[in-house]
Structure 1
Amino acid sequence: MVKEALADTRVVILNGARQTGKSTLAEQCLRGMPEVTKRYLDDKATRTSAETDPAGFLDAPGTMMIDEVQRVPDLWLSIKHAVDRDPRPGHFLLTGSARLLGLSSLGDSLPGRSETIELFPLSQGEINGTPDGFIDAVFAAGADFRTGSSELRRKDYLTAAARGGYPEAIRRTAPRRRAQFYSSYLDDIMSRDVHQVADIRRGSDMRRLVAALAAQTSGLLNYSRLSADLGIPVTTLRDYVDILELIYLVRLVPAWSANATARAISTPKLTFTDSGLAAYLLTGVTNDTTTGAIMETFVLGELTRQLTWSTTMARLHHYRDRDGYEVDAVLEDNAGRIVAIEVKAAETIRPDDFRGLRALQRRLGDRFHAGLVLYCGDQQLPFGDALTGVPISALWTTPPPELQV
């Protein structure tokens, strides 16, 4: 994907959380290319050069890779001028540990000149070497979607969710060593990344907010309740959550609504980008509510990752209405077709688990393409027209349509 973008786009931006392999991927994509210049802004001397003489810093033939470009915001305008004067594709490959186009310090979003590719922690398919073709397959098949049985059980899914997708966390098999990684990771995020994108004077408030958000991961984001619990003004909380989303620590899943569902609630759902980090923050707090929240965070994370490479152009939402019906994930493609997904952290499945899916199906009619309950059981089970229970592992073991036989 990065190589394809470099072939026809002036500026390619590789965005993602720290420790997701952005620099490594960028370097791999540039191998074999002629005239490549690499600049690493974590290096103080390199950063000083960029700040002192941006135009001179960018003056190089071929493709220039700039790692952690958000560290010198003044480079952005110089990059715009450079690609306007020299519009060849593949001029710059930029990496950043923040959503660059959301930073207020960058004055221009380079419309028509750039393409952004997001890199998340590893998916289960990338970890296990399996197809990761669920989204394309379910949109292609609709009510006829089929998947195989699974050998995984609830404890296996919980283990995978607690492990997360950061490469360093995966390598650390001992729970104590993995917990140490997450502790150091959060320290680095709080002391470095947060301060790169905003002037935070009370870091302790941000840390308390992160812990509070973990306790309600995959729940509706209620700023008023958070404000009362933490003693932080609502306006400040909104700014802090925006920062955490900019640096890929959390993700806001927008509410889905349409004319057919006028009673829908518009409140976004907040989920952690990595389920392992959320599980670490909830260490010692184990009950059915937190287990279900971690499992939903895990599934939403897998869907988010898969959307970055699936050929189906779909968007991820959630649904909840004033009548008490809710659906954990709503995928809508460009044709307006809806694939609705519920997540259950149980090895058995009941008709009542489809309550929200059936309500959405009644209201949408033909737009309702398929409804699935992803659960911790071992087999696919039918529950009515276009409704089925599917093992969670189908997310990463289902091949895309072109690979199915």
Structure 2
Amino acid sequence: MDYIKRDLESVILELSQEYACILVTGPRQVGKTTTLKRLMHPDRTYVSLDDLEERSLAKKDPALFLQLHQLPIFIDEVQYAPELFSYIKIAIDHGAEPGSFWLSGSQAFRMMSLAQESLAGRVALLHMSSLSQHEIYGEGKQAPLSIELEALKKRKPAGKQADLYELYERIWKGSLPGLVSGKYTNRTVFFSSYLQTYIDRDVTDLVPGINKLLFSDFVRAAACRTGQMLNVHDIASDVGVSADTAKRWLQILEKSDVIFYLRPYSNNLLKRTVKTPKMYFFDTGLVAYLTKYSSPEILANGAINGAILENYVVAEIRKSYHNNGEECLLWYYRDKDCNEVDLVIESDGQLHPLEIKRSVNPGSELIRTFSVLDKGSVPRGKGAIICMRPELSAIDADNYILPVWMI
């Protein structure tokens, strides 16, 4: 089993030279602990709050906890002892050296809110998701996706070409390190255990006494609607819970980084845009497991083949930004006249429209809706169709054809 180098490593090391505290958040089992341990020097103390004795001390007497453990320190699963944050702030204010505190946690919303409340201006916040296709199959350093010709040309040598079925094998397998690295070989057992551990540890921590079987059914119902505009009532009726319960449970999934939303783009000049977000899962392998697709070939020809491809593309674009420590301004567009653009990247004062298609030879008619963005106050930049074309191409000078394997 080989370690897979993470693109975020260089960012962590660079920021550790500037910030006294680094906080790495992300879903469960995406490699936060493994990566930070690999980057540690021998003089850094490692403490996991999975250890109940350490957790108890950190919660009851955080000052003593920090006195007992020498700096620099890596505190893993720090979400279990939020009491530490105020004392870390005190240590930083008293002159803690850059890189003194490395923290990791799997409840991103909770961690970020605690950090912003207690450590505002003192902590570098980083998000780690599951492995990107560049980390798994590519080489070299990968920049955030930019829809500019020279930037796109530089992406080609960093990726690994994949045809339709090779790509759906990537989608079906997913990108969690435990499976990709070969540590675990039984995919069904892996995802079943992953889901059970997530519910037993994260969900019950957020909502004690929750009906675990019903929540598991709820996650499956949500997975069936990945890549679609969110319809809370439909998901609720599938499982037999109220819409209010479904909303609360969706918040749990979002807070623990299992799902994320793509918000609709709008501004004061675009009055007729819809307000409903689209929902995606952080890992397409988990979606394929939850929706009972037993092979990549069946998935490639199944009912959700377009939606799960869109999920894959959106997730990979987000990773390309997060892995460089950058914010991703990513939207979708849909108005009440049914004009729709799958993705809109806002970058350098421009809007870059993107369409995602399973086709190898997409037609020029797909870019016609891009012009709806011209009505807004932010100028439209270059656009692209992300599809199964094997090589980078173009429809015209302002609209490119980008292979999925290059993102």
Under a length normalisation based on structure 2, what TM-score does the superposition of the two structures give?
A: 0.86
Residue 169 of structure 2 corresponds to 159
Q: CA separation in 2, counterparts of 1:147 and 1:119?
A: 24
Q: Is the 8 A contact 1:54 1:74 kept in 2?
A: yes
Indicate which of 51, 61, 75 corresponds to 1:53: 61
What letter is aligned with 1:346?
S
Residue 336 of structure 1 corresponds to 349
Indicate the larger mover: 145-154 or 23-32.
145-154
**Secondary structure class of the residue paired with 2:47:** strand
Change (3 A) 1:88 1:243: same
Q: Is the 8 A contact 2:126 2:325 kept in 1?
A: no
Deviations 1:248-268 (A, max 9, x none): 111112221123432211211
Is 1:70 paired with 2:84? no
Indicate the larger mover: 284-293 or 210-219.
284-293
Indicate which of 8, 16, 24 corresponds to 1:6: 16
Is 1:390 paired with 2:402? yes
Unaligned stretches of 5+ in structure 1?
A: 396-405
Deviation, structure 1 residue 152: 2.5
**Secondary structure class of the residue paired with 1:374:** strand
Residue 288 of structure 2 corresponds to 279
Deviation, structure 1 residue 312: 7.0
* 1:354-393 superposed matches below 5 A: 354-360=367-373, 362-364=374-376, 367-393=379-405
Residue 293 of structure 1 corresponds to 307
Deviation, structure 1 residue 217: 0.5
**Secondary structure class of the residue paired with 2:89:** helix
**Secondary structure class of the residue paired with 2:17:** helix
Change (3 A) 1:356 1:141: farther
Deviation, structure 1 residue 191: 1.0
Indicate which of 13, 18, 34 corresponds to 2:28: 18
Q: Is the 8 A contact 1:154 1:377 kept in 2?
A: no
**Secondary structure class of the residue paired with 1:339:** strand
* 1:67-106 superposed matches below 5 A: 67-99=76-108, 101=110
**Secondary structure class of the residue paired with 1:108:** helix
**Secondary structure class of the residue paired with 1:138:** coil
Q: CA separation in 2, counterparts of 1:313 and 1:354?
A: 26
Q: Is the 8 A contact 1:134 1:394 kept in 2?
A: no
What letter is aligned with 1:164?
G
Residue 42 of structure 1 corresponds to 50
Q: Is the 8 A contact 2:318 2:328 kept in 1?
A: no
Q: Is the 8 A contact 2:229 2:276 kept in 1?
A: yes
Deviation, structure 1 residue 103: 7.5
Indicate which of 210, 217, 226 corresponds to 1:208: 217
Indicate the larger mover: 282-291 or 71-80.
282-291
Q: CA separation in 2, counterparts of 1:55 and 1:166?
A: 36
Q: CA separation in 1, counterparts of 2:209 and 2:113?
A: 15
What letter is aligned with 1:171?
S
Unaligned stretches of 5+ in structure 2?
A: 1-10
Deviations 1:265-291 (A, max 9, x none): 121111000111111112248555400
Q: CA separation in 2, counterparts of 1:108 and 1:311?
A: 20
* 1:178-189 superposed matches below 5 A: 178-189=187-198
* 1:211-290 superposed matches below 5 A: 211-284=220-293, 286=299, 289-290=303-304
Q: CA separation in 2, counterparts of 1:147 and 1:89?
A: 36
Residue 334 of structure 2 corresponds to 320
Q: CA separation in 1, counterparts of 2:229 and 2:91?
A: 43
Deviation, structure 1 residue 357: 2.6
Q: CA separation in 1, counterparts of 2:350 and 2:76?
A: 39
Change (3 A) 1:343 1:132: farther
Q: May I ask how many residue pairs the two structures share in their alignment? A: 390
Let me know the Cα RMSD of the aligned residues.
3.0
Indicate the larger mover: 36-45 or 294-303.
36-45
Q: Is the 8 A contact 1:10 1:90 kept in 2?
A: yes
Q: CA separation in 2, counterparts of 1:105 and 1:312?
A: 20
Q: Is the 8 A contact 2:145 2:317 kept in 1?
A: no
Q: Is the 8 A contact 2:145 2:320 kept in 1?
A: no
Q: Is the 8 A contact 1:73 1:106 kept in 2?
A: no
Indicate the larger mover: 265-274 or 57-66.
57-66
Deviation, structure 1 residue 58: 1.1
Deviations 1:221-241 (A, max 9, x none): 122332333332223222211
Q: CA separation in 1, counterparts of 2:115 and 2:326?
A: 31
Deviations 1:319-348 (A, max 9, x none): 111111112221112x32112211112223
What letter is aligned with 2:30?
T
Deviation, structure 1 residue 314: 4.2
Deviation, structure 1 residue 53: 2.1
**Secondary structure class of the residue paired with 2:186:** helix
Q: CA separation in 1, counterparts of 2:255 and 2:155?
A: 37
Q: Is the 8 A contact 1:102 1:246 kept in 2?
A: no
Indicate the larger mover: 45-54 or 262-271.
45-54
Q: Is the 8 A contact 2:147 2:384 kept in 1?
A: no
Change (3 A) 1:233 1:253: same
**Secondary structure class of the residue paired with 1:377:** coil
Deviation, structure 1 residue 3: 1.7
Deviation, structure 1 residue 350: 2.2
Is 1:346 paired with 2:328? no
Q: CA separation in 2, counterparts of 1:52 and 1:102?
A: 19
